[in-house]
Amino acid sequence: MALTLLIADDHKIVRDGLRVLFERAPGHQVVGEAADGHTAVQLTLQHRPNIVVMDMAMPNLNGIEATRHLRAAGFSGGIVMLSMHSERRVLTQALSAGVNGYVLKDYAFEQLFTAVQAVSKGESYLSPQLAALKEDGAIPLVTDLLTSREREVLQMLAEGHGAKEIGFRLGVSSKTIDTHRLNLMAKLKAHSVAELIRIAIKEGLSAP
């Protein structure tokens, strides 16, 4: 039986490269591709692949939030995160969200196939460059203070979307988004949207 995979990355050239990487290997089948986090969640729940290869920095819903959505929906397959972030706090956030593997993008084509094989066997995988960062005990994260919806709004603010557009995308009023923004500023002790953006980037919710 083929090992089925779904590839989620907002860059088509990356998705094409990963598809070639896996489909050249016997017994592997790519069953779907997604360019953003929302689509990744929808297609994963539709196709139920064995493994999701999930980019961290995607528009609308980043890879960590997409992972949280999938785990909350009961998806039990493997999730391998691709990320540019090598900070301990971001790695901890990804692992706590439910990823099984974490591969640095700089080493993706060298390590990803090995990571997928490990995760498909029920094992975990970290890029060797990150092994020293994984320690026992949780690391406090600023975004642990936030609800899932607040993290989603924070990401969209960091991506430069205004309250009206965010409200339209989430199906709520712009006033509701303004309330979320004020709550975010209070919880994160930020005095401006610019400070919120800096926090979002630091926490790995948005690409720099």
Residue finishing a domain among 93, 111, 133: 133
pTM equals: 0.71
Instruction: Evaluate whether residue 119 is within a structural domain.
Output: yes
Helix (H) or strand (E) holding 187: helix 174-187
For every one of its 208 residues, what pLDDT tens digit does the chain have, with 9 covering 90 and above? Answer: 889 999 999 999 999 999 999 999 999 999 999 999 999 999 999 999 999 999 998 988 899 999 999 999 999 999 999 998 888 878 888 888 999 999 998 888 889 999 999 999 999 999 988 866 655 444 445 666 788 888 889 888 888 889 999 999 899 999 999 999 898 888 888 888 888 888 887 776 666 6
Using one digit for the tens of pLDDT, what is the confidence trace for 74-84?
A: 999 999 999 98
Structural domain that includes position 156: 142-202
Which CATH number does the domain housing residue 151 bear? 1.10.10.10
Residue finishing a domain among 133, 155, 180: 133
Q: What is the SS3 string spanning 69-103?
A: HHHHCCCCCEEEEEECCCCHHHHHHHHHHCCCEEE
Task: State which amino acid sits at residue 134.
Answer: K
